[in-house]
Structure formats: C-alpha cells, structure tokens
C-alpha cells in the first residue's frame, strides 16, 4: 500500500473513532436533554401517538386528551379555557410545552421512570401506553375568585396555605386560552402564538411567578419583622413619625403619602400605629437605624434572594439591593429604590407571619398519579426557614389585624372572620402610575390557625385615576379568602 492510501486510511479510521466517541457521548450524557428540548417534533409526534395524562384540580381535569381521526392520534384540551392557563401552560406540537405541561412532561407523557414497569407490562400485553396524571394544589373557588377580581386588568394573585406552602390560587392577568395553541392546525397555532407574543400586555407572561415589582409598603412587614427581631423594638416602641423624614446625604425628604404626621400633633408615633397608617417616615427611620444588612438578612429569611426556586414552575428572584447608601436604605425599608418581589414572594411573607414565623416552601403539584390514578408520589410540605420567632410573629399578626380593622386595609375585612393585612402603593418612575398591592391572611384571631394567605398586585393601578392598595387590591384578596374559608372559615 502506498503512502497516500495509508494516510487516507488513517484519516478515515480517525473520523470513525471521532464519530463513535460522539455517538456514545450523546447517548450517555445528552440524550435526555436533546429529547426534552421544547419543540423537538420527533418526540412530540411520538408522544401524540399515546394518550397523554390529565392535569387535575380537585379531581377534575383542567387538561386532558381526546382521540381524533387525523394524523396526530390525540388532541390536548383545556376544558376551563384561560382560567388555569398559567398553571397548566400549553402543549403544542409547534411550540412544545409550557407550565406544568413542561415541568411534569415525563409523567404526563408516560416516560417517567416510575411508570417503567407499567410500560413493560403494556409492551407484553400489547396495550396502549398511557401517561400519568398530575394533581395540582389549586382551589377552584379561589382561582375563580382571583380571576374574576382581576377582571382582565394587568396583575396577579397568589394564595397559599400558610401551614403547608400549597398554592391555592395562581392567576396572572391578562391570560390566554391554551386551546388555541394545542390544536392540530399548524397555521392556526402560529397565528394565535404570533398574536399573543405581539400583544403589548404580554398575556403569556406569568406575572404571579415570573415578574418582579417594587413591593411598596407591603415590604414594611419585613422592616417591622427586622425591628422586632432585633430586640430593640416592640409594637409600642416610639419611632419617628414626622410628615416628612429628612434623608441623610441629600436635600430631599421621604414624605408620608398624605403629607401629614403619623400621629397628629406629634413627630413620633408607635411602631404599631406606623404600620396601621403605613407611615413612610417611620419605616424609613427604622430602616436607617437597623441598617441595610439587617433588612437584607430579614428579607432573605422570608425567601428573598433565592435564585433556584421552582414550584415546579420556575420563579423569578426577589431581591433586596446589594449595597444601598443611607437614603437608598431608607427608601428600601418602604419597598422602594431597587427592592423587587414577585407576588408569590409577597404571599410568602404574609404566610410566614401567619404560620408562627415559619415559611414553608411553596408547591403547586400535590400528587403524581399512575394512569389508574394510584398515587406514585405525593409532595410533603417542607420548611424553608424560621423567618421570625413565634413571639415576633404573634406581634406582627396583631399589628396587621389593626391595619385591616382600623387602618389602611379596611376593604380586606370579612364578616365573622379576623383578617390580618397590609396595603401597598408602589411608586415607579417619574410619570408612571403606581402598582396597587394588598397582602393578608385569615383567620388571624389569637390562637387561630390561618388557612389562607394572599397577595394581590394590580399593575399600573389598573388604569384608575385613584390608586391605592385598599381600594383596588384588598377587595380581591377579600374574595379569595372568602372562597377558601367558605362559610365563615
């Protein structure tokens, strides 16, 4: 064999070796990643050949599959239309999957390892492979109340069971109909998707989990918690309460929203009255006294700063500023400057206070079930942190009750039920309307176990001329709490 042929042979052998290594690498390390990529049409077409499992809420399917006569054997349906859209997501052979459809795809498609024995049995018997079911924690009445309360306005509602972290309501508005993305008409799917993505109100955006806002005065709960946890304050402590707090290093002040003293005729007030009236000057002063590190540590104890939270849907990270100066610290103490929070995070703060200071990991999936609905896995509630002591939680609870009974949050009251709450009106940039917030829990009487904690945000004040958390957001929280508690809690 002459030299050129030997060289050519060596090159061919080298190429075969490289190909062999690459094939084994893909099979061993990247097969699952490639298979699970959104929009993998080969996998999706294979999955459409079997009946995909349902997504259940209170035992009722909010996503299921029906047999068809066309090339794709099954059609994905969403019987409730837009109501659960941001929780279920969509399942589209053009755009892949989103929401729980994506997060729990292996179970729904029947590919999960826990279904292996059943798949093997189906192979032997020749029976069709079916997907498993995913049961969500949502309360249909609370979900309906939240959606009706938002009434198409931009915003979000999250309700939690404070004792477990189970998500009872998860609504983002505006929403969309996932049926439009799950049909078998590729042209119609693309048209619907392009229309949704071109909408400036972003109906595909999950505002409850994926959007962060300035939390405004709802963050005063974190500042109050830090003050009480420091041991230097109690609910009756005298704190500054002028109409406007002089900010150090600047020639501007931090005014109260009504430009009045927190306690008429006095430049001081109690910490309880400062929360009841939501006085910016008081909490700005307390924040300056505690310092940014103490505020950040307290915020992190409630869950701020956690970057990898999933429920199992991925959530945005709520944040306290890294290195604010003194005036920025005062503004941060009232939930302004660069403080950002998801509605889920604000609900977690209220839920932690309601649960004697213990914050539970939020979760959306209650059970994973086999095709015969036998339980394969059940989510066990998990403690995230002890954000405050039980004594401090009890003090915060009593202060929040005063907010609802005779302070800025009276529209959150429920007949026959003690409610704890906090309003917020979060300023944005110059000339932009503020966001309206309300967070609450109930029942909140002494010795009572709270069954629901809620956070509501109305983005840009819903376009209203008069914007306040009490007027716009509190009535929605009231309806959601009533839906969960039923007849008088």
Active site residues: 217
Q: Partners of 417 in the beta sheet?
A: 414
**Residues comprising the chain, all counted:** 489
Residue 171: CB atoms within 10 A of its CB come to 33
Distance, CA of 387 to CA of 370 (rounded, Å): 37
Please choose, from the candidates 80, 110, 105, 107, the residue with its C-alpha nearest in 3D space to the C-alpha of residue 91: 105
Residue 295: CB atoms within 10 A of its CB come to 26
Distance, CA of 457 to CA of 219 (rounded, Å): 13
SS (H, E, C) the chain: CCHHHHHHHHHHHHHHHHHHHHHHHHHHHHHHHHHCCCCCHHHHHHHCCCECCCEEECCEEEEEEEECCCCCCEEEECCCHHHHHHHHCCEECCCEECCHHHHCHHHHHCCCHHHHHHHHHHHHHCCCCECCEEEECCCHHHHHHHHHHHCCCCEEEEEECCCCCEEEEEEEECCCCHHHHCCCCHHHHHHHHHHHHHCCCCCCCCHHHHCCECCHHHHHHHHHHHHHHCCCCCCCCEEECCCEEECCCCCCEEECCCCCCCECCECEEEHHHHHHHCCHHHHHHHHHHHCHHHHHHHHHHCCCCCCCCECCCECCCCECCCCCCHHHHHHHHCCCCCCEECHHHHHHHHHHHHCCCEEECCECEEEEECCCCCEEEECCCCEEEECCCHHHHHHHHHHHHHHHHHCCCHHHCECCECCEEEEEEECCCCCCCCEEEEEEEECCCCCCCCCEEEEEEEHHHHHCCCCCHHHHHHHHHHHHHHHHHCCCC
Tokens representing 99 are 């929401």
Torsion sign (Cα): 63, 360, 163, 286: negative
């Amino acid at each position: 064999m002459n030299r050129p042929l030997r060289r050519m042979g060596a090159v061919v052998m080298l190429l075969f070796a490289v190909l062999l290594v690459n094939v084994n690498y893909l099979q061993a390390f990247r097969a699952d990643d490639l298979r699970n990529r959104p929009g993998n049409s080969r996998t999706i077409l294979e999955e459409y050949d079997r009946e995909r499992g349902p997504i259940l809420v209170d035992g009722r399917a909010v996503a299921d599959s029906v047999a068809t006569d066309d090339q794709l054997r099954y059609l994905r349906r969403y019987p409730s239309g837009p109501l659960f859209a941001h929780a279920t997501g969509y399942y589209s052979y053009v755009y892949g999957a989103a929401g729980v459809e994506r997060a729990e795809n292996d179970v729904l498609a029947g590919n999960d390892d826990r279904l292996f024995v059943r798949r093997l049995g189906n192979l032997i018997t020749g029976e069709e492979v079916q997907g498993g079911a995913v049961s969500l924690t949502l309360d249909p009445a609370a979900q309906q109340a939240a959606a009706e309360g938002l009434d198409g306005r931009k915003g979000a509602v999250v309700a939690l069971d404070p004792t477990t972290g189970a998500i009872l309501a998860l609504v983002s508005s505006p929403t969309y109909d996932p049926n439009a993305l799950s049909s078998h008409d590729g042209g119609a799917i693309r048209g619907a998707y392009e229309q949704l993505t071109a909408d400036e109100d972003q109906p595909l955006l999950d505002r409850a989990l994926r959007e962060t806002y300035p939390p405004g005065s709802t963050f005063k709960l974190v500042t109050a918690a830090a003050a009480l946890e420091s041991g230097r304050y109690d609910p009756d402590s005298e704190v500054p309460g002028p109409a406007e707090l002089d900010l150090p290093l600047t020639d501007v002040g931090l005014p109260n929203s009504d430009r009045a003293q927190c306690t008429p005729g006095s430049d001081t007030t109690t910490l309880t009255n400062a929360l009841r009236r939501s006085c910016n000057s008081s909490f700005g002063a307390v924040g300056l006294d505690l310092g940014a590190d103490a505020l950040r540590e307290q915020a992190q104890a409630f869950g701020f700063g956690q970057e990898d939270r999933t429920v199992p849907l991925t959530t945005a990270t709520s944040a306290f500023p890294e290195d604010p100066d003194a005036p920025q610290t005062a503004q941060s103490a009232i939930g302004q400057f660069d403080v950002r929070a998801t509605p889920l995070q604000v609900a977690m703060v209220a839920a932690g206070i309601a649960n004697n200071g213990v914050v539970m990991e939020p979760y959306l999936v209650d059970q994973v079930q086999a095709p015969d609905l036998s339980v394969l896995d059940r989510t066990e509630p998990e403690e995230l942190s002890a954000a405050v002591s039980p004594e401090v939680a009890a003090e915060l609870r009593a202060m929040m009750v005063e907010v609802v009974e005779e302070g800025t949050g009276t529209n959150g009251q429920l007949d026959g039920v003690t409610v704890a709450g906090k309003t917020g009106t979060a300023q944005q940039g110059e000339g932009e309307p503020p966001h309206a917030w309300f967070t609450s829990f109930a029942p909140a009487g002494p010795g009572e176990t709270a069954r629901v904690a809620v956070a509501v945000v109305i983005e840009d004040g819903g376009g209203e001329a008069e914007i306040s958390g009490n007027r716009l957001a509190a009535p929605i929280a009231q309806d959601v709490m009533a839906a969960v508690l039923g007849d008088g809690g």
